[in-house]
Amino acid sequence: MNTLTLVDIATGWLECMPLLGKSADDVIDGLRVADELLPFTVQGLDTDCGSEFINYELLDYCEDRLITLTRARTHRKNDQAKTPYQWIILSGHIGQTRKDLLTQEYQGLDPVDLLKRLEILQDQPWQYSWSRSGNAEAHSVGGSKDEVETCADNTSTENTPTNRYYRANKKKKPVVRIWRTRKDPFENVWDEIRLRLELIPEMTARDTIGWLMKKYSGQFSIGQVRPLQRRFSEWRQEQLGQEARLRALMLDEQSEPNPLTAITQNLTDNLDNDHGEAKRTY
């Protein structure tokens, strides 16, 4: 759940529109609803640099309704960091008497007390929750405004929960997926691709897709480059592993003595010994 917050910089009029997503269509739907609620015509929109605002759909929407669309500076998220109260104080259309009253009320607010009231209000929807067994769970949450104020006054910091995350389910360990979720599009032509790779090892996946599109018209598209790149990577890793194993075998053969060489050396040593004894005997 997201909130589209609209604040009029002249009057301080505030509209908060709940959005299920942050797409351009969701923002435009929220603006259409806000346009019906606002007592004046929207003449301009000044947004941040999020993709939900910086898109052609919202630009077309503003151009059709003659709305001036502007945005904050790139990587300057605090360009619009002003509360409705601050916008009212800066406005020149509101009298000083009204500003003084608002300032007096603003300075009398207690942020800690407001936080407690918000937490109590946030807990209220849990009285409608259901357990896994399908039974309604009872929650002692204040409902009326007086009950909320009473709970906020009687709530101490010692009784305030330190962890207000209600999802206590432990995350399951991720399972390593070794199976395919869709059919391999290169299963029938992989032998041809592998032969070309052996002949031309520097061949890229994009070149191969172009070759397949020409040879098998209508069966392959440029959007299949990424799956083919993964196949190429797996094949090259396999080739490197085979080369490493062959290199290890060759080094082992060079380090181990040749049995024929050992036998020949033994025979030579025995003949030399026999020849020397024969000389001494003579």
Question: What sections of 124-222 are H helices per DSSP?
Answer: 145-154, 190-199, 205-215
pLDDT in the model for residue 60: 92
Check whether residue 24 and residue 92 sit in a common domain.
yes
> Which residues fall within 8 angstroms of residue 17, CB to CB, at 6 or more apart?
3, 4, 5, 6, 30, 31, 33, 34
Check whether residue 100 and residue 120 sit in a common domain.
no
DSSP class of residue 174? P
CATH number of the domain that residue 42 is part of: 3.30.420.10
Check whether residue 47 and residue 121 sit in a common domain.
no
Q: Is there a domain that residue 274 lies in?
A: no
CA distances, 106 to each of 10, 111, 122, 225 (Å)? 19, 10, 23, 59
Which residues are registered as beta bridge partners of 4?
A: 17
pLDDT in the model for residue 65: 92
Q: Is there a domain that residue 171 lies in?
A: no
Dihedral sign, CA of 203, 204, 207, 212? positive
Q: What is the mean pLDDT of each run of 10 residues along the chain (282 residues)?
A: 86 87 91 92 89 91 92 73 77 88 91 89 78 57 56 51 53 71 85 89 89 89 88 88 84 66 64 53 42
Q: Is there a domain that residue 133 lies in?
A: no
> Which residues fall within 8 angstroms of residue 221, CB to CB, at 6 or more apart?
209, 213
SS3 state of residue 67? coil
Q: Is there a domain that residue 280 lies in?
A: no
Q: How far apart are CA 8 and CA 223, in angstroms?
A: 45
Q: Is there a domain that residue 265 lies in?
A: no
Check whether residue 57 and residue 94 sit in a common domain.
yes
pTM: 0.36
SS3 state of residue 146? helix
Check whether residue 199 and residue 242 sit in a common domain.
yes
Q: Is there a domain that residue 168 lies in?
A: no
Check whether residue 46 and residue 120 sit in a common domain.
no
Domain that includes residue 12, residue range: 2-106
Q: Is there a domain that residue 170 lies in?
A: no
Q: Is there a domain that residue 32 lies in?
A: yes
Closest CA to 71 of 49, 92, 52, 102: 49
Closest CA to 182 of 227, 245, 217, 247: 227
Q: For the chain, what is the domain count?
A: 3
Check whether residue 151 and residue 229 sit in a common domain.
no
Check whether residue 58 and residue 114 sit in a common domain.
no
Check whether residue 50 and residue 121 sit in a common domain.
no
Check whether residue 23 and residue 98 sit in a common domain.
yes
